[in-house]
Amino acid sequence: MSLKLGVPSKGRLMDKTFDWFGQRGIELGRAGSEREYAGYVQGIDNIELVLLSAGEIPRELAAGRIHLGVTGTDLVHDKLGQWDRTVAELAGLGFGQADLVLAVPRCWVDVNTLDDLDAAAAAFRITHGFRLRIATKYHRLVREFLRENGVADYQLVDSQGATEGTVKNETAEAIADITSTGDTLRANHLKILEDGLILRSQATLFRARKAPMDDADRKTLKTLLKQLELD
Ligand SMILES: Nc1ncnc2c1ncn2[C@@H]1O[C@H](COP(=O)(O)OP(=O)(O)OP(=O)(O)O)[C@@H](O)[C@H]1O
Ligand SMILES: O=P(O)(O)OC[C@H]1O[C@H](OP(=O)(O)OP(=O)(O)O)[C@H](O)[C@@H]1O
């Protein structure tokens, strides 16, 4: 058998993950053409690279189909209930930093905190006859956060991309999404609530707690962690 390492198959997370391993003497790369989702590993034996969508890596780890995986903490915490039962964090990789935040239109001058949002949501329901809509792809994290903070009169609207545009498009009144520079929020006339930080995320190396391993795999894992200085 071999140890399976899941890595994002495209974009900034893939490139920076390759760099991070490269700096530690393990060369990861894509094999074949730009479009082919096959990878190679050099500098250590018995590890197979599996190129996956960043959003699917949490599920693959939880199912034990990959032993190790790199993805954002936001995706692991959102996609896996009680995530620390199925996966363990081995190391934050120091890139892919982004904050999951709750934001409302800048023109809502009376809404700056979660308490304000709660009051606005109750008033919104009376005026409009339906609950204030919050667009997000982070359903679990947003629900938990709002429950913990006593905001109840809202509904989540699923948005898998271009979430900041939903307010202008009138499919939501507020959003919860990842931000790093803040440019996208500003460009879409949105402001973050003062206490609206839901989660700080970064790219992280995770280990599956329940992936099947034989003795050779355990030896490979030990060698890898030593080389990455994570033992
Ligand atoms: N602007 C950003 N700056 C830094 N990190 C970001 C930014 N946007 C998203 N990320 C992080 O990158 C990771 C992957 O994000 P996302 O799911 O949007 O990827 P994607 O490229 O759309 O991948 P896929 O569609 O294949 O799942 C997430 O953990 C997220 O926190
Ligand atoms: O704070 P900023 O630096 O502006 O970055 C934030 C944006 O980056 C991500 O989008 P991405 O580019 O991945 O596109 P998406 O909307 O399709 O997810 C995220 O969803 C925000 O929209």
Contact assessment for residue 195 and residue 101, using Cβ atoms and an 8 Å cutoff? no
Contact assessment for residue 138 and residue 221, using Cβ atoms and an 8 Å cutoff? no
Q: Considering only CA atoms, which residue is closest to atom 4 of ligand 1?
A: 96
Which H helix or E strand runs over 42?
Answer: strand 38-42
DSSP string over 114-175: HHHHHHHHHHHHHHHSSPEEEEES-HHHHHHHHHHTT--SEEEEE-SS-TTHHHHTTS-SEE
What's the topology of domain 98-201? D-Maltodextrin-Binding Protein; domain 2 (3.40.190)
155 contacts: CB under 8 Å, gap ≥ 6: 130, 131, 132, 133, 134
71 by DSSP, 3-state: which? strand
**Are domains 3-96+202-227 and 98-201 of this chain identical in fold?**
yes
The top-level CATH class assigned to 3-96+202-227 is alpha beta
Give the per-residue pLDDT at 44.
96
Give the per-residue pLDDT at 231.
86
How many angstroms separate the alpha carbon of residue 184 from the centre of ligand 2?
A: 7
Sequence ranges of the domains in the chain: 3-96+202-227, 98-201
Burial of 229 per CB tally in 10 Å (0-12, 13-18, 19+): exposed
Which atom of ligand 2 lies closest to the CA of 163?
16
Contact assessment for residue 219 and residue 47, using Cβ atoms and an 8 Å cutoff? no
End-to-end CA distance of the chain: 22
**Tens of pLDDT along the chain (231 residues)?**
799 999 999 999 999 999 999 999 999 999 877 777 789 999 999 999 999 999 999 999 999 999 999 999 999 999 999 999 999 999 999 999 999 999 999 999 999 999 999 999 999 999 999 999 999 999 999 999 999 999 999 999 999 999 999 999 999 999 999 999 999 999 999 999 999 999 999 999 999 999 999 999 999 999 999 999 998
Tokens 């994002």 locate to: 8
Which H helix or E strand runs over 197?
Answer: strand 190-201
Give the per-residue pLDDT at 99.
98
Which atom of ligand 2 lies closest to the CA of 180?
1
Task: Read off the pTM.
Answer: 0.95
Give the per-residue pLDDT at 37.
76
How many angstroms separate the alpha carbon of residue 8 from the centre of ligand 1?
A: 10
48 by DSSP, 3-state: which? strand
Q: Considering only CA atoms, which residue is closest to atom 2 of ligand 1?
A: 180
Does ligand 2 have an atom closer than 6 angstroms to the CB of 1? no
